[in-house]
Amino acid sequence: MATAVVHGMASAQGFSALVGGAELVQSPAPPSFSSFSGLRVRRNGEHEAQVSSSRGAAVGTLRVRAVATPVRPPTTMPPKRSKVEIIKQNSDFLRHPLKEELETEAPNVNEDAVQLIKFHGSYQQDNRELRGPGHKAYQFMLRTKNPSGIVPNRLYLVMDELADKYGIGTLRLTTRQTFQLHGVLKTDLKTVMSSIIKNLGSTLGACGDVNRNVLAPAAPYKSKEYVHAQELASKLAMLLAPQAGAYYDIWVDGEKITQDEPEDVTIARNDNSYGTNFDNSPEPIYGVQFLPRKFKIAVTVPGDNSVDVLTNDIGIVVISDEHGDVQGYNIYVGGGMGRTHRNEQTFPRLADELGYVSKDDILYVVKAIVATQRDYGRRDDRRMSRMKYVVEEWGIHKFKTVVEQYFGKHIQPFKELPPFQFQSYLGWHEQGDGNVFFGLHVENGRIKGEAKKALREVIEKFKLDVHITPNQNLILCNVRPSWKARITRALANVGLLAPKFVDPLNITAMACPALPLCPLAIAEAERGAPDILKRVRAMMDKVGLKASESLVVRITGCPNGCARPYMAELGLVGDGPNSYQIWLGGASNQTRLAETFMDRVKLDKLESVLEPVFYMWKSERHEKEGFGDFVYRQGFGACKTYIENYTGPRKPVRRGGLFLDADVHSSLAKLAADEGLTVSKFASKVLAEHLEKAQH
């Protein structure tokens, strides 16, 4: 029996009934109480409630510290739930009324079905630019599920064909390593869905209140840790996939077409040793309510942050020994990007270190974390329903304690890791098995036009598998070295260039689709990004920054954060028509959050804000100091003051060369390095100080 320590006035009988049988430890002879206002989790991990006597008088505050065994909320006072929670509960595990709505002649489905079809991998959309008087231009976006971004040759060719036949002729690569297919009409949904399923693809759980696509490094390296990271991503996707069968009932008439599931995944899903499962339910992990909100997982290896690991609900880092054999995993929890403008209760958050588990325990601890979010995540307000708010409210110690109860073991201390670095994997690389791979930059992830046609020809001709990266790019895998020249030439002819010919700004930039299809978008992102990046480069050129210098720019049309703008060195978040909230100060390796620098900056005013800060960076940075690091070090106050006083870049005054003795130059170089300056800047500083003293 778990122990609860209670401060205040309570009766053992009344409290025990409310918390599911916890043993009560209390002071002698307190008066009884008949009601309390509901437990509220305090930041220190305690629970608190106001207590009333049987006559209605307030008799004090009840505080519970370390309520241990997870129990379902009391059924005597049903908690408030959002409308979506009711829809899920009444849907017969995601079937109704979606099945009926798909059979109507209307071009759309009703609101209940709109919520359910998300779990099947689709969003109902309305093209704002095709609307007519009195009617909306309804269409559907489909999103695939591709753990690690892995796309077999056959599936790529099918997706390419479906885009032309039933979509808008483009394929969109997403920031979670999947395809999005836009413009599908309701009458074609079943045809498109069944084609994907029958070619060993899936859209199940690509959207909705379940585990979404599991990220892992897209590089097809054959080293043990990279291969294992991708295998684990696949296993986690299987473990947490919906099980009740509605997906196959609706889209392929009940025929379940899936890959064979590893035995350890099946065993882990069915294990209910510590109360993670619903007994005798077709959804053993999710139950009738599924999760409170979407859930995101990423797996990576030490040093590789191509997956933005700290932005996920769960981040996993593979820990190997000196021979490359996997020993266990470091685990982060509580990351997430979504927020709401001018609602300070919502915020982006980096994941915290939870700890380390051995190799054989990873499926069980992930399941325990999911169960914790399932049972304790808020279901009354969807803006506050992500797991990051549970971790923030409880603190990592309490969160870990509850997870351990579902896990049945103690989680070990976090293992030391090397610094993370962003990896794009663009260009040609050795795979490690004699073959090579080619990472292609795809602007904003949109494959279209002649580039789409040429890509299909190359992938079909050479029978290549492809991987989608978390930066909206594409990797051609298993290329024989003798094919390199032909592939490079064919793709360069349609503008798919080697990375050395692409502006570094574009290499790391990302944007979400936004207008005109996303119903949440309030500003341009994908369509506006090319021009914005050109303007950023023009500003950098104007202030004297080199063409090789860059920064991470990410743009979204709303605050939901699909392109992870809050991790960028420069993030633009749409907050109105042609208006953006500017976020600055993120790290180039995506390990530090940016912060809000300015609100409601009109698109035509970007230069007035950014050019001065770029010049300040160029003039006052330490050697090799990135833009995000510079802004973070200087602080927003100093940057805003610089903007107010900025009159344009100063032209350098040249009066011929200054020649120094070699030993003097060497001494200056050492002193300059200590202050993070170039020799020229340090010498100018020393001479200016000397001249000022001489004048006085």
Q: Of 339, 558, 564, 621, which is the active-site residue?
A: 558
Q: Which long-range contacts (CB under 8 A, 24 or more apart) does 73-78 make?
A: 74/17, 74/18, 74/19, 74/20, 77/38
- 294 catalytic per annotation: yes
Which stretch of DSSP H or E encloses residue 507? helix 504-508
DSSP H or E run through 41: strand 40-41
**Per annotation, catalytic residue among 63, 145, 296, 446:** 296
The answer to whether 562 is a known catalytic residue is yes
- Shortest CA distance to 474 belongs to which of 513, 429, 526, 424? 424
State how far the alpha carbon of 339 is from the alpha carbons of 83, 528, 562, 566, 658, in Å.
20, 22, 11, 10, 55
CA 183 to chain centre: 25
143 is catalytic: yes
Cβ proximity of 265 and 238 under 8 Å: yes
Q: Which of 145, 294, 374, 621 is catalytic?
A: 294
Spell 131-157 as b/e; 16+ CB within 10 A means b: eeeeeebbbbbbbbbbbbbbbebebbb
Question: 63, 172, 212, 537: which is the annotated catalytic residue?
Answer: 212
Active site (annotated) includes residue 639: no
Residue 512 annotated to the active site: yes
Query: Which position among 207, 477, 512, 639 bears the catalytic label?
Result: 512
SS3 271: coil
No. of H helices and E strands in the chain? 21, 25
242: cis peptide before it, omega within 30°? no
Active-site residue (options: 518, 554, 564, 621): 518
Per the annotation, the verdict on 256 as an active-site residue is no
Cβ(677)–Cβ(623) below 8 Å: yes
Give the SS3 label for residue 129. Answer: coil
Contact 619, 645 (CB under 8 A): no
- Distance CA(284)–CA(271), nearest Å, equals 10
Structure tokens at 518: 């996303």
The verdict on whether 207 is a catalytic residue reads no
Query: Is 448 considered catalytic here?
Result: no
SS3 658: coil
Give the tokens for residue 101: 């709505």
In sequence order, what E strands does 559-624 have?
A: 570-576, 579-584, 595-602
3-state SS assignment for residue 369 = helix
| Residue carrying the six token digits 């979509």 | 167
CA distance 571 to 586: 9
Choose the catalytic residue: 143, 400, 537, 621.
Answer: 143
Helical axes 263-270 vs 362-376, angle rounded to 10°: 40
The one-letter code for the residue type at 625 is E
Cα–Cα distance for residue pair 581/183, rounded to 1 Å:
29
**Alpha helix (H) ranges present in 143-200?**
153-166, 189-198
d(CA 623, CA 200): 51
Taken as a whole, the chain contains a residue count of 696
Q: From CA 27, how far away is CA 10, in angstroms rounded? A: 10
Tell me the catalytic residues: 143, 212, 294, 296, 512, 518, 558, 562
